[in-house]
C-alpha cells in the first residue's frame, strides 16, 4: 500500500501552526465529568480560526471566510466552518484495473454565516470546473482544504448547491496509528471505510461527525462487480459492459460512516423483523460467515428490545476479503467486515447503529461513547445467550494487574492523542465503565439510562458530560467521582483489588477470532 505520509505530514505542520498561533480554544483538556455544564457540553466548540489573514483583519469582512476546521482536538482541520451540508449526491465510476475514480459531487449546503469563501475537505484528485448555484467558482487547494470562492458572497441562512467534478487514482488514507482507511483497493474492487478521516480520500466532504446529511451514491463499475452503499438500493442498471448501482440513505449520516464497497459479491436480501436486509459476501468468505450472518435478524431484534427501535430503514452487512485493512467498521446500515466476522464482531458493529451511527460523538476524544458501548453490547449478548455474564467478564478483566499498563491506559475518556483512538482500553475499560455503572445504580436505572441516551440523542451528537448528567439524573446519585476514576484517571482504579499477581488476563482486546473491530 502506498503510504501517504507526505500528505499527512503537510497537514500536521498546518495543524501545529494553527494550534500555536490561533486564539480559538482548541479544547484538549478532558472535561470535568462532574460538571455537565462545562464547555465540552455546549457542543459547538469554537472553530479553528481561519488561516487566512483576511479573516481577522480589522475592518475586513469579518466572518466572511469559513474556518478550515471545526477544532476537533485530534483532527483540527477536519470539517469546516460556516457550512451545514444537507445532502450529498455522488455520481461515481471506478475501474479496478486502473484504480481510477471519476465523479461528480453535488452538495446542497446551508450557509451558517456570511461566506465570501468556504472550504470542503478533499485529498488529491484533479478537479474540473467547480460551480456554486450553477456559476463557475474559483478554488485553491491547501492540503485537504478545498477552498471555494463563489462569484457572490453567500448570506447566512442561504441554501446553495456546489458541484465538484473530480478524477484521479483513489488512494487509501493512512491514520495516526498507521492503519489505512478510505478507498482501499482490493483484489476485485475496493473496500471503503472512513473512520475517522477517510471520506476526503474519495469525495469532497464536510468531514466532521457533527455535520450529518442524507446521501445518494451512484457507482458505475465493470459488469460482474457489485457496488454496495448505505441505505436502500434505488436502482441497478446495465449499459455498455458496466453496471450502475444507486444507493440512497435518507437518514442523517456522518461522513465517516459512508461506504460504496466494490467487488464480486454474493448478495442475499430478506427481512429482519420488518426491516429490509441486504447482505453482500465475498465468495471466499461465504462458508465462514454463513453461520454468523444467519443470526443478524436475531441480533437486530435483541438490540431493539434492549435499546429501542432500530434507527434506520435498512440493515445488512458487507463481508469482503480485505486483509490489508485488518478491521471491521460500523458503516451506516451495512457494517463492513474485512473478513468473515464472528458473533461478537457482528454484534459489536450492529450495536454501533444505535451508539455511534445514530448517537454520534461531537468530538473524537469521546470515542469511548462508541467503543465502550459496543463492547459492552457484546457482553450483554453473551450474558443473555448462555455465555459468560457481563459481571463475570468484568471481574475477569478487573483482575488484570495494575502493572499491565497497556490494559489500563490510556483512560478511555481521555485517550490523549489521535493514535490512541482505537486503543484497547477505550474498548475494554470503556465497557467496564458501563458494567460498573450498572452494578452501582442497578439494572432498572442502568437500562433506563441506556434507552434514554439513545431516544433523546438519536440522529444527533453527544459528549461524555451529557452522559454523566443523564446517569446522575436517572440514578439520583452524584457520580462525578465514579466517572472521574473510570474515564479520566490513568492506571487501574485504586478501589479495585490488586494483588499484583500476573494472572493471565481474560482480555477482550478487540483482536480475536472474528478480526479486529472498530
Ligand atoms: Zn466499535
Q: Give 371 Cα–ligand 1 centroid separation in angstroms.
A: 5
pLDDT at 161 over 50: yes
87 vs 384: CA distance, rounded Å: 40
State in Å: Cα 327 to ligand 1 middle.
Answer: 10
pLDDT for residue 277 is more than 50? yes
Q: Is the pLDDT score of 511 beyond 70?
A: no
Query: Which residue intervals of 352-491 are DSSP H helices?
Result: 368-383, 390-398, 405-408, 424-441, 443-457, 464-475, 480-483
CA distances (Å), 307 to each of 167, 173, 276, 301, 464, in order? Answer: 42, 34, 20, 10, 18
Task: Report d(CA 491, CA 425) in Å as an integer.
Answer: 10
pLDDT band at 24 (very low <50, low <70, confident <90, very high): very low
| CA 66 / ligand 1 centre spacing (Å) | 32
Determine the Cα–Cα distance for residues 461 and 448; give it in Å rounded to an integer.
19
CATH class of 5-226+247-253: mainly beta
Residue 126 — left, alpha, or beta (φ > 0 → left; ψ -120 to 50 → alpha)? beta
Using alpha carbons, select from 170, 149, 169, 171 the residue that is nearest to residue 160: 149
Residue 186 CA to ligand 1 centre (angstroms): 22
The CA 337 to ligand 1 mean position distance, Å, reads 12
On whether the CB atoms of residues 447 and 455 are closer than 8 A, the answer is no
Distance in angstroms (rounded) separating the CA atoms of residues 87 and 288: 37
Residue 259 CB contacts under 8 Å (≥ 6 apart), including other chains: 192, 193, 194, 228, 229, 230, 318, 331, 334, 336
Ligand 1 centre and the CA of 180: distance in Å? 16
**How far, in Å, CA of 399 to CA of 409, rounded?**
15
Closest CA to 436 of 410, 406, 412: 412
Q: Is the pLDDT of residue 72 over 70?
A: yes
User: Which pLDDT band, with edges at 50, 70 and 90, does 447 fall under?
Assistant: very high
pLDDT at 63: 56
Mean pLDDT of 240-265: 98
Distance 517 CA to ligand 1 centre (A): 6
* Rounded Cα distance, 198 and 256, in Å: 7
Distances (CA, A) of 19 to 46, 77, 248, 484: 13, 10, 38, 27
- Cβ atoms 359, 457 nearer than 8 A: yes
Distance from residue 370's CA to the centre of ligand 1 (Å) = 6
- Taking the centre of ligand 1 as the mean of its atom positions, its distance from the CA of residue 29, in whole angstroms, is 24
Kindly give the distance from the C-alpha atom of residue 16 to the centroid of ligand 1, in angstroms, as a whole number: 29
Q: What are the residues facing 191 on neighbouring strands? A: 184
Contact, 334 vs 315, CB < 8 A? yes
Distance 94 CA to ligand 1 centre (A): 29
314-367 tens-digit pLDDT: 999 999 999 999 999 999 999 999 999 999 999 999 999 999 999 999 999 999
Distance 257 CA to ligand 1 centre (A): 12
CA of 68 to the centre of ligand 1 (A): 28
Give the distance (Å) from ligand 1 centre to CA of residue 444: 25
- Are the CB atoms for 65 and 51 separated by under 8 Å? no
| C-alpha 238 to ligand 1 mean position (Å) | 36
Q: What is the mean pLDDT of residues 482-489?
A: 98
What is the reported pTM? 0.88
Residue 268, φ and ψ in degrees, nearest 5: -125, 130
d(CA 514, ligand 1 centre) in Å: 13
Mention every residue, 6+ apart, whose C-beta is less than 8 A from residue 193: 181, 182, 184, 259, 325, 329, 331, 336, 518
Lowest mean pLDDT among 58-72, 135-149, 489-503: 58-72
Ligand 1 centroid – CA 349 distance (Å): 6
Query: Which sign does the torsion angle of CA 412, 416, 421, 425 carry?
Result: negative
> Contact 92/218 with Cβ under 8 angstroms?
yes
CA of 103 to the centre of ligand 1 (A): 30
Distance 27 CA to ligand 1 centre (A): 24
Q: What is the pLDDT averaged over residues 289-317?
A: 98
* 6 against 246, higher pLDDT: 246
> Rounded to whole angstroms, how far apart are CA atoms 414 and 238?
50
Which CATH number among 1.10.390.10, 1.20.1250.20, 3.10.150.10, 1.10.620.20 corresponds to the domain 360-517? 1.10.390.10
Residue 38 confidence (pLDDT):
33
Ligand 1 center from residue 250 Cα (angstroms) = 23
| d(CA 501, ligand 1 centre) in Å | 30
Rounded Cα distance, 517 and 192, in Å: 15
* Residue-range domain boundaries for the chain: 5-226+247-253, 360-517
Rg (CA), the chain: 23
Q: Can the peptide bond before residue 410 be classed as cis, meaning omega within 30 degrees of 0?
A: yes
Amino acid at each position: 500500500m502506498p503510504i501517504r505520509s507526505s500528505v499527512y505530514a503537510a497537514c500536521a505542520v498546518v495543524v501545529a501552526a494553527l494550534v500555536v498561533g490561533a486564539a480559538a480554544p482548541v479544547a484538549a483538556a478532558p472535561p470535568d465529568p462532574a460538571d455537565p455544564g462545562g464547555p465540552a457540553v455546549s457542543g459547538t466548540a469554537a472553530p479553528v480560526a481561519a488561516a487566512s489573514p483576511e479573516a481577522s483583519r480589522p475592518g475586513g469582512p469579518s466572518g466572511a471566510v469559513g474556518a478550515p476546521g471545526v477544532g476537533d482536538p485530534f483532527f483540527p482541520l477536519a470539517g469546516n466552518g460556516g457550512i451545514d451540508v444537507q445532502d450529498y449526491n455522488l455520481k461515481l465510476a471506478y475501474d479496478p484495473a486502473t484504480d481510477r475514480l471519476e465523479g461528480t459531487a453535488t452538495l446542497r449546503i446551508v450557509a451558517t454565516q456570511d461566506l465570501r469563501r468556504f472550504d470542503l475537505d478533499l485529498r488529491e484528485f484533479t478537479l474540473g470546473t467547480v460551480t456554486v448555484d450553477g456559476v463557475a467558482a474559483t478554488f485553491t487547494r491547501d492540503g485537504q482544504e478545498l477552498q471555494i470562492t463563489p462569484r457572490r458572497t453567500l448570506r447566512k441562512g442561504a441554501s446553495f448547491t456546489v458541484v465538484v467534478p473530480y478524477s484521479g487514482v483513489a488512494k487509501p488514507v493512512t491514520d495516526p496509528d498507521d492503519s489505512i482507511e478510505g478507498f482501499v483497493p482490493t483484489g476485485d474492487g475496493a473496500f471503503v471505510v472512513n473512520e475517522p478521516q477517510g471520506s476526503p480520500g474519495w469525495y469532497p466532504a464536510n468531514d466532521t461527525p457533527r455535520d450529518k446529511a442524507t446521501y445518494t451514491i451512484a457507482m458505475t463499475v465493470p459488469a460482474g462487480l457489485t457496488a454496495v452503499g448505505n441505505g436502500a438500493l434505488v436502482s441497478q442498471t446495465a449499459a455498455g459492459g458496466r453496471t450502475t448501482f444507486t444507493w440512497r440513505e435518507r437518514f442523517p449520516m456522518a461522513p465517516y460512516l459512508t461506504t460504496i464497497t466494490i467487488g464480486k459479491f454474493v448478495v442475499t436480501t430478506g427481512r429482519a423483523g420488518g426491516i429490509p436486509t441486504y447482505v453482500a459476501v465475498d465468495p471466499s468468505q461465504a462458508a465462514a460467515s454463513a453461520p454468523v450472518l444467519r443470526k443478524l435478524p436475531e441480533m437486530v431484534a435483541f438490540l431493539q428490545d434492549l435499546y429501542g427501535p432500530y434507527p434506520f430503514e435498512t440493515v445488512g452487512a458487507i463481508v469482503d476479503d480485505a486483509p490489508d485493512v485488518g478491521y471491521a467498521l460500523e458503516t451506516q446500515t451495512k457494517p463492513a467486515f474485512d473478513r468473515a466476522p464472528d458473533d461478537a464482531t457482528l454484534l459489536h458493529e450492529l450495536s454501533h447503529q444505535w451508539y455511534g451511527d445514530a448517537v454520534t460523538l461531537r468530538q473524537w476524544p469521546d470515542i469511548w461513547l462508541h467503543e465502550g458501548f459496543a463492547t459492552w453490547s457484546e457482553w450483554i449478548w453473551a450474558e443473555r445467550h448462555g455465555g459468560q455474564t457481563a459481571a463475570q467478564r468484568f471481574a475477569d478483566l478487573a483482575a488484570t494487574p495494575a502493572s499491565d499498563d497497556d490494559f489500563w491506559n490510556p483512560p478511555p475518556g481521555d485517550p490523549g492523542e489521535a493514535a490512541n483512538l482505537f486503543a484497547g482500553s477505550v474498548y475494554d475499560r470503556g465497557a467496564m465503565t458501563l458494567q460498573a455503572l450498572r452494578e452501582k445504580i442497578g439494572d432498572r436505572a442502568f437500562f433506563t439510562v441506556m434507552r434514554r441516551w439513545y431516544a433523546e440523542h438519536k440522529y444527533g451528537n453527544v459528549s461524555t458530560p451529557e452522559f454523566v448528567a443523564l446517569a446522575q439524573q436517572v440514578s439520583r446519585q452524584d457520580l462525578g467521582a465514579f466517572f472521574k476514576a473510570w474515564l479520566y484517571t490513568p492506571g487501574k482504579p485504586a478501589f479495585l483489588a490488586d494483588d499484583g499477581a500476573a494472572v493471565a488476563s481474560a482480555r477482550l482486546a478487540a483482536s480475536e477470532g472474528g478480526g479486529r473491530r472498530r
